[in-house]
Each structure stands twice: as C-alpha cells, then as structure tokens.
Amino acid sequence: MALRIDLVFSYWMFFWYILYAFKLTKYSPKFIIGIGIIENLIMLLLMFYYRTKSQTIIYFIIINFFIKVLPFYMMINETIKISDIYATIILFIIYSLWVYLNGETVIEYHNKIFESLIHNKNETPFMSLIKYLQKYFKTYNI
C-alpha cells in the first residue's frame, strides 16, 4: 500500500519551493529544506546500517536530490530570515493538523516512511510510482 503524498512533509516542502520559485510567496523554504537534507542524511546512514537494498538507496538519493538538494542549491546565496523560520513553523503546524485530521500523527507517519525505506517496501509516493512504472514496462516489454 502506497503512502499518501499529502501526508509526507517532504512534498509540502517541495511544493513550497515551487511557490517560492514562481514568486507566489515571499517566504523562503531554504531553512526547512536544509533541515530536511540533514534528516535525509541521517536516514541514508540508517539505510546503510539496516542493509537496505542498493536499488532503494539509489531511488532515495535521486528523489531527494530533485526535491531537496537541487532546490536548496538554487537558494544557496539567500539569507534565511526570521520570517522564513516563522513561516516554517506555521507550515509545520498546518501540516501536523492535516495529518491529525487524517487519522495519523506526525511521528506515526514518519515511522511508516522509515519502515518503508529501511525494509525495501518502497511505499513512499515517488518510490511507489517508480515501482509501478517498472512493473508496467516489464509487463508490456517496453
């Protein structure tokens, strides 16, 4: 069963970056994306520790390169303002309420993501998509 994209905070961060890149918000997501990259580095170390399959690790790196590392790089010369940090806190509160309204807690859902990655279940949204596309192309010999 695939995890829901609207309950994964990484995609909220990426969506915020898209809004920022198109100048639809003045608040930079650089602060939270930087924290996300640190969290991903810790997750990557845990994936190696738990001997996660190489394919899952590669997908994890590729996906996070595009949704976190590249956006962070695009904002590298920007200064993080206190208003950006406040915007991050407000977004995280809204996200937490959304997760709660959908019958989960942030910690429970983060644990589901962790379990999916560590145990090669590939249930995160983009990993599920990659798995589906692989099956599709294999089934139809494309």
The tokens for 14 are: 């990426």
Mean pLDDT of all residues in 115-132: 88
Instruction: Please give the mean pLDDT across all residues of the chain.
Output: 94
Q: Are 11 and 125 in contact (CB under 8 A)?
A: yes
Q: What is the pLDDT of residue 25?
A: 98
The SS3 of residue 124 is coil
Instruction: Please check whether residue 3 is in contact with residue 125, taking contact to mean a CB–CB distance below 8 angstroms.
Output: yes
pTM above 0.75, yes or no: yes
Domain tally for the chain?
1
Q: Are 33 and 80 in contact (CB under 8 A)?
A: no
Residue 1 pLDDT > 70, yes or no? no
Give per-residue pLDDT as tens, 84-121: 999 999 999 999 999 999 999 999 999 999 999 999 88
Q: Which of 2, 39, 1, 8 is nearest to 102 (CA)?
A: 8
Quote the domain boundaries for residue 107.
5-139
Side chain identity at 14, as an amino acid letter?
A: F
Residue 75 has pLDDT above 80, yes or no: yes
Predicted confidence (pLDDT) per residue in 6-65, tens digit: 999 999 999 999 999 999 999 999 999 999 999 999 999 999 999 999 999 999 999 999
Q: How far apart are the first and last CA of the chain?
A: 25
pLDDT of residue 38: 98
